[in-house]
Amino acid sequence: MRGTGQSPVAEIGGLSGGAVDSGVRGTPGEGAPVSRPGPQTPGRGIADGSLVEGLVTSKDGEMYRVKIGAQTLSARSSVILFPGQRFRALWDASTSPPTLRLQHSDTAMLARFSGRDQQVASALFSRGMPVDEESVAELRRHWLARGGDPAKLGAMAELWARGAELTEANVILLSWYMALTTEEVTRIWKKIRARLRGKKTSSPKGLLVALKDGGDAEIARFLASHAIAGRKARDGIDPAALLAPAWWPMNGNGEPKRARVAFSGEHHGERRVWRCAFGFEGDSLGPVSGDIMSNGMSVSINIRLETEKSAEKVRAGLDVLRKELAEIPLSVQYLGASAAPRGETATDERRGLDMEI
């Protein structure tokens, strides 16, 4: 798996995903090309030693379900991976099931550390975070101060990456959230929706307070965890690299998605504006991203997709979304969808928020 010792690792956290280069073997050089395969017979078509990019869809013990190109396969991994995480690795088909392995350069990078430092370095590396002596030393200090329990290291790395307090309560909270199953999250989101339908308030903040104080401890715990998972990454951390994407609800009976979500706030004079940036992998739309901005009275929503065909599909359903948004206590200033290849800006982006409305 690709890594770097000095900067955020986009290869793990921010890949477009789903690619194979059967011509790349051993230790490829920087920027090695990765081709986009078409539909293949599951379990076939990926040569031993290929460099692959993909997405972890689920984990069961030491087994992973991963999406690579058009295939969803079972595999093991030489480092810990997590549902919702993207990866680049060498495909070792000599084992059954195949194994996703570190590249030689990554192994050498981790070998620079030993003992507890190597445990910390591995926790950072597997999440696409910077693996340098300063970062390792800082996280190790906090981890050892909390007893050095290996079971807590993953959650502490997530808290550290978000600049959140590394308290015992936060470690327990985020560990619980990261371990939730799809079925558990679906059930909790349904309870939240039911509570929201019965609330009448003009303030989004008031809705949140009412939910947290509504007497359901599970909802309160979920929302507190959700807030941590949605915190903005600290300086020097690639937001796309954070392991624990927030659980995001889908409409109807659809399963919730693992979405990269980051909330931030800023002041414009005496007004405060909140922004929510999001991104997830659509089942048929491909990568979906965007942002939501609100000043507490109105809201502006931009949705971005990688192809015009996907953008047209989303635009066709915006009237339905607009009707649903009419039920919230915010006026909709802008709601739109546009196409922009990864790394480029859509031509009509970005409609800002009129602070006078």
**pLDDT tens, residue by residue, 94-153:** 999 999 988 777 888 888 999 999 989 988 887 777 889 999 999 999 999 989 998 888
> What burial class does residue 296 get, using C-beta atoms within 10 Å of its C-beta: 0-12 exposed, 13-18 middle, 19+ buried?
middle
The answer to the question of residue 325 being in a domain is yes
Same domain, 51 and 122: no
Q: 260 with 240: CB under 8 angstroms?
A: yes
The answer to the question of residue 210 being in a domain is no
Number of domains observed in the structure of the chain: 3
Same domain, 141 and 77: no
Give pLDDT, residue 309. Answer: 94
The answer to the question of residue 181 being in a domain is no
Give pLDDT, residue 107. Answer: 82
- In the structure, what pLDDT confidence band is assigned to residue 330 with cuts at 50, 70 and 90? confident
Whether the pLDDT of residue 24 is over 60: the answer is no
- The 10 Å Cβ neighbour count of residue 130 is 21
Same domain, 284 and 333: yes
Same domain, 252 and 347: yes
The answer to the question of residue 176 being in a domain is no
Whether the pLDDT of residue 26 is over 80: the answer is no
Same domain, 75 and 152: no
Same domain, 55 and 141: no
Q: Which among 105, 122, 146 is the end of a domain? A: 105
The answer to the question of residue 240 being in a domain is no
Same domain, 45 and 99: yes
Name the DSSP letter for residue 241.
Answer: G
The answer to the question of residue 72 being in a domain is yes
- In the structure, what pLDDT confidence band is assigned to residue 243 with cuts at 50, 70 and 90? low
SS3 352: coil
Same domain, 33 and 122: no
Cα end-to-end span (Å), the chain? 49
SS3 breakdown of the chain: % helix, strand, coil, rounded to 5? 35, 25, 40
Instruction: For residue 199, give Cα distances in angstroms to 192, 193, 282.
Output: 11, 10, 30
Whether the pLDDT of residue 40 is over 60: the answer is no
CA 306 to centroid of chain Cα atoms: 18
Name the DSSP letter for residue 339.
Answer: E
- In the structure, what pLDDT confidence band is assigned to residue 343 with cuts at 50, 70 and 90? low
Same domain, 101 and 128: no
Q: Which among 68, 84, 105 is the end of a domain? A: 105
SS3 320: helix
Whether the pLDDT of residue 227 is over 80: the answer is yes
- In the structure, what pLDDT confidence band is assigned to residue 169 with cuts at 50, 70 and 90? very high
- In the structure, what pLDDT confidence band is assigned to residue 2 with cuts at 50, 70 and 90? very low
Same domain, 73 and 144: no
| % of the chain with per-residue pLDDT over 70 | 75
- In the structure, what pLDDT confidence band is assigned to residue 30 with cuts at 50, 70 and 90? very low
Same domain, 315 and 290: yes
Mean pLDDT for all residues in the chain: 76
Domain hosting 338: range is 245-357
The winner for highest mean pLDDT among 38-52, 161-175, 243-257 is: 161-175
Tokens linked to 332: 């909709």
Same domain, 125 and 79: no
Give pLDDT, residue 191. Answer: 86
pLDDT digits (tens, 9 = 90+) for 66-88: 888 778 899 999 887 777 677 77
The answer to the question of residue 355 being in a domain is yes
Give pLDDT, residue 352. Answer: 55
- In the structure, what pLDDT confidence band is assigned to residue 46 with cuts at 50, 70 and 90? confident
Q: Which among 105, 127, 150 is the end of a domain? A: 105
The answer to the question of residue 274 being in a domain is yes
Give pLDDT, residue 170. Answer: 94
Instruction: For residue 33, give Cα distances in angstroms to 50, 71, 93, 226.
Output: 11, 19, 20, 36
